[in-house]
Amino acid sequence: MLLKNSDLDFSLDNIQIISGAQQGLDLISKALLRQGDHIITESPTYTGAIALFKSRGARILDVQMDTDGPDLDILELNLKQHRPRIIYTIPSFQNPTGGSYSMEKRLAVLELAESYNCYIIEDDYVSDLDFEGRGYKPLKALDKYNRVIFIKSFSKIFMPGLRLGFMIVPSALTENLLTAKHITDISTSGLIQRAFDLYIRKGYWDKHFNFMYKIYKERYEKTTEALNRNLGSSFSFTGPGGGLNLWLGLPYGFPVNTLVKHAADHNIVFAPGRIFYSGSAPQTLNNIRLSFAAVYTEQIEAGIEKLCFLMNRLQNADYTQRNFPIL
């Protein structure tokens, strides 16, 4: 029922229920990756995926994210040189940057995966939170080669403690992924599945989603408006149009560690950009990720004002302990 209005073309035989998106990534890794295999990820990307792929002994190949998606030249170079098994993507409202692939790059990534015999993981965790009507099509909806493993979780919209989601799996991989699932936990709780099915059929899911959509949209607008008013000229951000994160650009060498400590003293928490890199490629230590998912709307303006004040003060100070990357 949740997919009835989607553009996804699939058979029920290709759907696999999982205990959250993280388990989906784990099952794919167990089924497809071996010690020493290469996997391509966006850079920066979701920290949970980095940790999981490393735990399987995979060698991560970073592809820099541009404003409209991955650098296609670097992507093809990695495909050509290393022949990876998997490309891991978050093409809509990416974590952490909030960026999204253009249609041109969505199609190009699919063509490259086919050319180099590679599968794509599409981690579609918040594409529903499209606040500006950008209408991004999932890679899976454009996948004429059956190369995309589509992962969807309900944690971000419904509740984090509900470890429930699903994958749409290419037919060639169904048996291997079912085996990996059976070995891992046999099956996702039947009670939870039946309860959630009833929740959907009764229409409660649609009501809840609309309720949460309005809340998140209001928080997004409040956050972007407050940043536009208070952010100094040395800093930058681009409103992604949806999702749950904003990616702030800081000047080269800005003392992010000091900002973390000063912000925490005012009960302001954010994620330093460095944690979203795999460590296998250089990065500039000049970003932070702001998430508005778990903050009350009425707290946003004062929090952004204080954060921007701290950032401006540190930027203007004669600060000696700046974060210059080691070359």
295 and 176 share one domain: no
Cis peptide before 255 (omega within 30 of 0): no
Q: Which residue has the tokens 């949806």?
A: 242
For residues 164 and 4, the answer to whether their CB atoms sit within 8 Å is: no
**The pLDDT of residue 309 is above 70:** yes
CATH of the domain at 26: 3.40.640.10
| Residue 7 maps to a domain | no
Residue 322 belongs to some domain of the structure: no
Tell me, yes or no, whether 129 lies in a domain: yes
Whether residue 302 is predicted with pLDDT greater than 90 in this model: the reply is: yes
Residue 254's contacts (CB-CB under 8 Å, 6 or more residues apart) are 285, 286, 311, 314, 315, 322, 323
What is the C-alpha separation between 100 and 68, in angstroms, rounded?
Answer: 6
Amino acid making up residue 13: D
Q: In the chain, what percentage of residues exceed pLDDT 90? A: 86
Residue 43 lies in a domain: yes
Residue ending a domain, among 138, 173, 201, is 201
Considering only CA atoms, give the Rg of the chain: 20
Q: Mind listing the pLDDT tens digit for each residue in 78-103?
A: 999 999 999 999 999 999 999 999 99
Give the pairing of strands 38-43 and 86-89: parallel
Are 39 and 81 within one domain? yes
Kindly state whether residue 327 falls inside one of the protein's structural domains. Answer: no
Domain-ending residue, one of 152, 169, 201 = 201
How many domains are there within the chain? 2
Structure confidence by residue, pLDDT tens digits, 272-285: 999 999 976 556 56
Is 87 in the same domain as 63? yes
Residues 51 and 122 in one domain: yes
Q: Are 152 and 124 contacting, i.e. CB atoms less than 8 angstroms apart?
A: yes
Same-domain status, 99 and 245: no
Residues 289 and 140 in one domain: no
- Position 326 scores a pLDDT of 45
Distance in angstroms (rounded) separating the CA atoms of residues 63 and 217: 30
Nearest in space to 133 (alpha carbons), one of 94, 158, 100: 100
pLDDT digits (tens, 9 = 90+) for 248-301: 999 988 999 999 999 999 999 999 999 999 976 556 568 999 999 999 999 999
Same domain flag for 196 and 246: no
Q: What is the pLDDT of residue 186?
A: 92
Peptide bond into 44 cis (omega under 30): yes
Give pLDDT, residue 6: 72
DSSP 242-260: BSSEEEEE--TT--HHHHH
Q: How confident is the model at residue 154 (pLDDT cuts 50, 70, 90)?
A: confident
Say what percent of the chain tops pLDDT 70: 94
Residues 128 and 262 in one domain: no
On the question of pLDDT at 76 being above 90, the answer is yes
pLDDT digits (tens, 9 = 90+) for 168-203: 999 999 999 999 999 999 999 999 999 999 999 999
Q: Write out pLDDT tens, residues 112-145.
A: 999 999 999 999 999 999 999 999 999 999 999 9
**Residue whose structure tokens are 């950009």:** 273
User: Same structural domain for residues 73 and 112?
Assistant: yes
β-sheet with 245-249: strand ranges across = 245-249, 287-291, 271-272
Residue 93: the pLDDT is: 98
Domain that holds residue 265: 206-316
With CA atoms as reference, report the closest residue to 25 among 158, 147, 123. Answer: 123
Same domain? For 300 and 170 the reply is: no
pLDDT value at position 327? 42
The type of residue at 205 is W
- Among the three residues 201, 228, 243, which one is the final residue of a domain in this structure? 201
pLDDT tens digits, 215-238:
999 999 999 999 999 999 999 999
